[in-house]
Amino acid sequence: MNNLEEFLQFEKENKLFDYTYKGVYLWSMMRVGVYLAYYIKKTNAHPDFQIMNIKTRLGFLRHIPKHMLNRISVSKKDVFAAHYNSYKIINNKRINPFIEFLNEIDVTTHFHTTYRPTLSDDIIYCGTNDGLRKIKEIIYRKRFFGLKRIGGLKESAEIMDFLNVLGKLIVINDAHNYMYSIMHKVEDFLIKKRFYKKLIGNRFKCVLLGDHYNPNHMALIQAARELGIPSVELQHGLTGAHHIAYNFLDESSDNKYFPDYFLTFGDYWKETMRVPKGTKLISVGFPQIDLSRNLLSNTTQDDKLIIIYSQGTHGKTLSQLAVRFAAIAADKGYSIKYKLHPSECKSWKNLYPWLLGNKSIEVLDQMMNVHELSASAKFHVGAVSTTLYEALAFDGTIMVYNTEGLESIKDLVNNGYAQVFDDENELLTLLESGIKTGVDSISKKMFRPDSVSNIEILLQTITGI
């Protein structure tokens, strides 16, 4: 039994979804973070997180004037879109490829983000006092932990019971500190939920979000549910049978903060997900894939260009692989590009100093359209990354590094869509053999065509337009 299945079995046997504090479901709120800690402990993985400095942490302050100015602008619309401010430079425009399409369809949208689509001037920036809410949360945090220091907080028997069970899964050295941290997370959740209930009120017919396991989005889903407003999540990356956020051993044990609809890139992703029974899985496609296919249809593949995709917990391993591979491949005529994950772009020089000054490797640290790489190169190398699947949409050849977490992408290998390798020498041998793993037949199953039209029809059905 692999790590995920053991974890799912534990949560089912110990009925972790039943634990509540002040009406908040503790396990539903915490399970993704706990699984990461559990996974790191079991595999000795080395996650590389973006370094947060003071400037980054206080970045939200610059948006407060816009939030205040537009606060009165929250008028009735069809869709409340709370998505990442994840932009790319596509066709010389700075856009968010996940939600830009909302400007093209027949629903009115309020974008609850600092992102502003470039294709329309008639957009509310945030229309909320989101920045002010964050200040309120900071003040509350100071007050909460001030009370903790002077013994002004009552202990929670419910949370201690919960931690006693959780201690069988992960090491909890100081249960009382954990208890206070969870108490604060609950209070923070309730602040966010009250904020979203007031904000969305009866102004919207549906809530659209980028993922459900973001703390803000869990509070938003619950607020919408209490108001009778359906929530819709767009697939943003790898799901399948090995992603903790999209798998439940007992599907009848509903995760209270899971969306009502989950829209997948294609039928391929629906087949292995185990989601709560109340959620509708619907295949719609991926707008950025459709856009890129049109823009890049005449791109010629370079069979000597190797793209290595960095990814979260595997960044250190992959970047070191890139250095070793460059040492033996450069004189064979191969050029190497190392594509950083967006979370690594600002901090890679500290995280992976061995990449600095290596003239054989071009490090890509810009928010580019990754499909330009998918279309321009024949060979794509990585560990656990959605970009490897996306490369198949552009007839790429996929090479998977045999490292921790391989089970997450093992389906590509098992189905003959990718080759697995153990080290840089085996990778070079595979490249020199001229092997090709891209399979045209799987592309449409992974990424359903006509995504924008499919999403428009679904949103119109949900909102009753």
- 166: which 2 tokens? 């959780």
The closest of 386, 413, 389 to 238, measured between CA atoms, is 386
pLDDT in tens, 374-386: 999 999 999 888 8
> pLDDT tens across 266-320, in order?
999 988 889 988 899 999 999 989 999 999 989 999 989 999 999 877 889 999 9
Q: For residue 358, what are the contacts with CB-CB under 8 A and spacing of at least 6?
A: 323, 326
pLDDT in tens, the chain (465 residues): 688 899 999 999 999 999 999 999 999 999 998 888 887 777 665 555 444 455 555 555 665 565 554 455 556 789 988 877 667 777 777 777 788 888 888 888 877 765 444 433 333 333 344 666 777 778 878 888 888 888 888 889 999 999 999 998 888 888 888 898 899 999 999 999 998 998 888 889 999 998 999 888 999 999 999 999 999 999 988 888 888 999 998 776 677 899 999 999 999 998 888 998 889 999 999 998 999 999 998 999 998 999 999 987 788 999 999 999 999 998 898 999 999 988 888 889 999 999 998 999 999 988 788 999 999 999 999 988 888 899 999 989 999 998 876 777 778 888 888 889 999 999 999 999 877 765 666 788 899 999 999 999 999 999 887
CA 362 to chain centre: 26
Sequence-distant (6+) residues with CB within 8 A of 80 are 109, 110, 112, 200, 203, 204, 206, 207, 208
Closest CA to 209 of 226, 227, 245, 233: 233
For the chain, counts of helices (H) and of strands (E): 18, 16
The count of other CB atoms within 10 Å of the CB of residue 303 is: 15
Domains of the chain: 3-54+129-286+450-463 (no CATH), 292-446 (3.40.50.2000)
- Residue 161: Cβ-neighbour burial (10 angstroms; 0-12, 13-18, 19+): exposed
Name the maximum alpha-carbon separation found in the chain: 69
pLDDT digits (tens, 9 = 90+) for 351-362: 999 999 899 999
